[in-house]
Amino acid sequence: MKKLDIELFKKYKRLSRGSWGKDFTLWKVMYIEFLKKMKDEEFTPPMELLLNVFLDLGKARKEGTPIIMYPFNYGPELFYAMDLAPLMQEMFSVGLAPFHSNEPYLDFTNKIGYGDNPTLCNAQRPLIGAYMQGVAPIPDLLFFLSTPCNPLSVSYQVFQYLTGVPTFNVDLPYWAYDQASEFYDEKTMGYMIDQLKNLIFWIEKQTKQKFNIEKFQQTMRLLNQARENVMEFNELLKTVPCPANSIAGFSNTICMATRGGTYDAVKATKYLHDSAAENVKNGVAGVPDEKIRIAWPYIHIFFDIDLFPWLEEEFNAVTILDLLGFYEPVPQDTSTIEKCYESLALGTLDFPMIGTCRGPIEYYIDFVLNYVKDYKIDCVVFPMQLSCKHTYAMARVASEAIREETGIPSLIFGCDPYDSREVTSEAIRKRISEFLTQIVM
Ligand code: SF4
């Protein structure tokens, strides 16, 4: 695998030349910082994909391609099929967290009275302050969903108010589409598909373009290839020792949430899949001398990107997948346009965090129980975000169910994964360390 050497570094730096517009200044700074951080690392397809996401937004702004902003819990395939430039918003507002560069905007948002830590989520809230200071990307269109939480949908309404751009909102149905489920409702699929068709009409109207059925089918076929790679990758991770490190699953979701439906996503997910498959074949562990297998059925501590490597080094502990990294939509029949709509709807209903959080608590409990059993997990860690009020009870009930059915211990603690000042990295590491040494080992 080639490295991001000085030649490649210069090439990617050159590609960012020219003005991307004032509102993309910070986005460009993030790109350059990311590029610097990656210098001399292996130049992998997921890395290439991320660089392209940054660059394509700058290019879109220069060339006048409409930019649509959307949250992390939706795949952009339809947007690519309709020649839009998709901007996954949290790549900006959460992408600042590892550098603590989101914190001044959080403080500013606080000062002007837009919620506080427990009422709105700091995954989205820095953008409010960043907009008011004129340093956040202003899209041409805005899209969001009602799930996974009220803080997200409220924040997106504030973005709509601040930017004044045309907005489309999808309401996620509560009930199951699977006839075998006790929560099945025959209206679920139709309700979802109708809204996605309305989204297509809305984009047509906003961009004055005609929906291209062939391009959409081609996009959905590419999406299938990537889904296939991810599905097999998830299966490979059941192997003992786990053939991937703690961040690989999350990389898959980043690929699907930023590039789903493109060749970039097929290539990056294939790379992750092939690396894991090769390791299984050779009996190589993602974390050498694996001793503990952790399930992490919630979100990462985004301000502390060294937390997983620290767990790997200190405890030989591999974190296998996580709630966001567990991308579950499977390949679907794409032979007709109606089947493609169905595939799009299923991907929306099953997207990470949506599939588990859009309905009765049983969706989440079943997910965690299967996760623990299928991946031969030794312990479960639930870092509960302070503003995820809808999930407080969910984590407690799920941990009880895990203990009763499997005897596996859980750790639940409150924190703000986006703000290092609420519960510090040291405090989080101390809690996990005590749990692993005193209960798990
Ligand atoms: S972390 Fe919780 S509150 Fe924040 S966006 Fe995700 S589900 Fe919503």
CA distance 333 to 154: 35
Q: CB within 8 A of 431, min separation 6: which ones?
A: 411, 413
**How far, in Å, from the CA of 121 to the mean position of ligand 1?**
6
Question: DSSP assignment, residue 1?
Answer: -
The end-to-end CA distance of the chain, in Å, is 37
Name the closest-CA residue to atom 2, ligand 1: 388
User: Ligand 1 site: residues with CB under 6 angstroms?
Assistant: 121, 123, 148-149, 151-152, 299, 385, 387-388
CA distance 78 to 82: 6
The DSSP result for 113-165, as a single string, is TS--TTTS-TTTTHHHHHHHTT-S---SEEEEES-S-HHHHHHHHHHHHHH--
Q: CB within 8 A of 113, min separation 6: which ones?
A: none
CA distance 176 to 145: 17
Nearest by Cα to 256 from 193, 315, 305, 324: 324
**How far, in Å, from the CA of 424 to the mean position of ligand 1?**
19
Name the closest-CA residue to atom 5, ligand 1: 152
pLDDT of the chain, 441 residues: tens digit per residue: 789 999 999 999 999 998 899 999 999 999 999 999 999 999 999 999 999 999 999 999 999 999 999 999 999 999 999 999 999 999 999 999 999 999 999 999 999 988 877 789 999 999 999 999 999 999 999 999 998 888 999 999 999 999 999 999 999 999 999 999 999 999 999 999 999 999 999 999 999 999 999 999 999 999 999 999 999 999 999 999 999 999 999 999 999 999 999 999 999 999 999 999 999 999 999 999 999 999 999 999 999 999 999 999 999 999 999 999 999 999 999 999 999 999 999 999 999 999 999 999 999 999 999 999 999 999 999 999 888 888 888 999 999 999 999 999 999 999 999 999 999 999 999 999 999 999 999
The DSSP result for 51-62, as a single string, is HHHHHHHHHHHH
Residue environment code for 126-155, b if the CB has 16+ CB neighbours within 10 A, otherwise e: bbbbbbbeebbbbbbbbbbbbbbbebbbeb
Q: Write out the two tokens for 431.
A: 């809690």
In this prediction, residue 95 carries a pLDDT of: 95
Nearest by Cα to 234 from 272, 194, 261: 272
| Other Cβ atoms closer than 10 A to 308 | 22
**How far, in Å, from the CA of 216 to the mean position of ligand 1?**
30
